[in-house]
Amino acid sequence: MIYLDYNGSTPVAPEVRDAMLPYLGPCFGNPSSTHSAGTAMAAAVEQAREQVGNLIGAKPEEIVFTSGGTEANNLALKGVAHAFGSRGRHMIISAIEHPAIVQPCRYLESIGFEITRVGVDRYGLVDPQDVNQEIRENTILISIMHANNEVGTIQPIAEIARFARQSNVLMHTDAAQSCGKIPVSVEELGVDMLTLAGHKFYSPQGIGALYIRSGLELESLHHGAGQERNQRAGTEPVPAIVALGAASALASKQCHAKRMQDLRDRLHSGLHEALGNRIKLNGHPELRLPNTLSISIANCSGGTLLAGLPELCASTGAACHGRTRQISDTLAAMGVSEESAAGTLRLSVGRYTKEEEIDQAVAILVAALDRTA
């Protein structure tokens, strides 16, 4: 099996697994308990909170653990809506957001909020001036993803955040795809909230976090005993939280961006050499994640192609809606035709990808396309 779907999910790193294992065995207890077993669990949670904070340049107390990126996004959007809805009921997002942003916004529209969707250029890039022009007196939140999950385009979040601050509007970014791949700093980005998803950078599925700037209080989605600064009630899943902390520490000290970019470019070059103008790059040629390659192949069905290649794990689009046949919102917003979108592959490399796997993937794809030509 050749795995080229690291944007979909990553394996658990051995270092992360080793950090997590004791909390699946001899180390257990409720972090809210005051006895020694409980306080040991609470200490492990706080260490992980510090590790996550260090990854993005945040204070430990600004990190709220969630079940993943989807819950973090829901907390950001709905938490702001219910906490600040009396001040205004207008929000701004981009036309290429992940469903974990799109669907909560559709829910908010159903209860009376207005959502403006700002378009992108042919590279999937948002123009900060377009966002600024949509800000109104009743705008309470702007939420623009840091890096797109399908084509990898990195957005000018810092510029957009400056416009938000000038208008006293809160700023959130979904950084699920960028954290662990490129440097991410909440101070440099200037955001009030930021979403992380553990399984995108070598932690288990089912754990994530939301950075919430000090002093900002959201309305909780979960009401209970008041864990996580009263922002997310429920007994903390200590093993998963420890794993997220370990993954954050690993990402802080080991940057694989250059190696991933070399592998990605090797993959692109190999396919281009064999297929020539039959392939077209989607996304910005420079301002994109170092591990992500989205290409459209002429006269090809991406879904049919991959269905006949069980040895190759890749995606035709975002994994969260990869089983649908319709053109993705991202490709549609970028102006990609339905025919080109149908032949789109998302190939994403990671920490454990090898050069020989890249070469094998090129050979496999080219051979399969030759058979169907």
Annotated catalytic residue within 27, 255, 313, 320: 320
105 is catalytic: no
Q: What confidence score (pLDDT) does residue 373 get? A: 64
Q: What confidence score (pLDDT) does residue 372 get? A: 75
Q: What confidence score (pLDDT) does residue 89 get? A: 98
Phi, psi angles (nearest 5°) of residue 215:
95, -15
- What is the C-alpha to C-alpha distance for residues 11 and 102, in angstroms, rounded to an integer? 27
Q: What confidence score (pLDDT) does residue 254 get? A: 83
* Residue pair 171/164 in contact by the 8 Å Cβ criterion: yes
Q: What confidence score (pLDDT) does residue 317 get? A: 61
Q: What confidence score (pLDDT) does residue 322 get? A: 52
Give 66's DSSP letter: E
**Which residues of the chain have a pLDDT value below 50?**
318
How far, in Å, are 94, 117, 144, 193, 326 from residue 112 at the CA level?
19, 16, 21, 23, 28
Question: Can you read off the two tokens belonging to residue 81?
Answer: 């809506």
For the chain, helix, strand, coil in percent to 5 are 45, 15, 40
Is the dihedral angle over the CA atoms 91, 201, 252, 151 positive or is it negative? negative
Question: Can you read off the two tokens belonging to residue 12?
Answer: 């658990």
Q: What confidence score (pLDDT) does residue 104 get? A: 98
- What is the C-alpha to C-alpha distance for residues 367 and 113, in angstroms, rounded to an integer? 51
Sheet containing 208-212: which strands, arranged edge to edge?
A: 63-66, 208-212, 193-197, 170-174, 139-143, 90-94, 114-118
Taking the CB of residue 10, how many other CB atoms lie within 10 A of it?
24
Q: What confidence score (pLDDT) does residue 255 get? A: 81
Q: What confidence score (pLDDT) does residue 141 get? A: 98
Q: What confidence score (pLDDT) does residue 326 get? A: 75
Q: Between β-strands 292-297 and 312-313, what pairing exists: parallel, antiparallel or unpaired?
A: unpaired
Q: What confidence score (pLDDT) does residue 327 get? A: 81
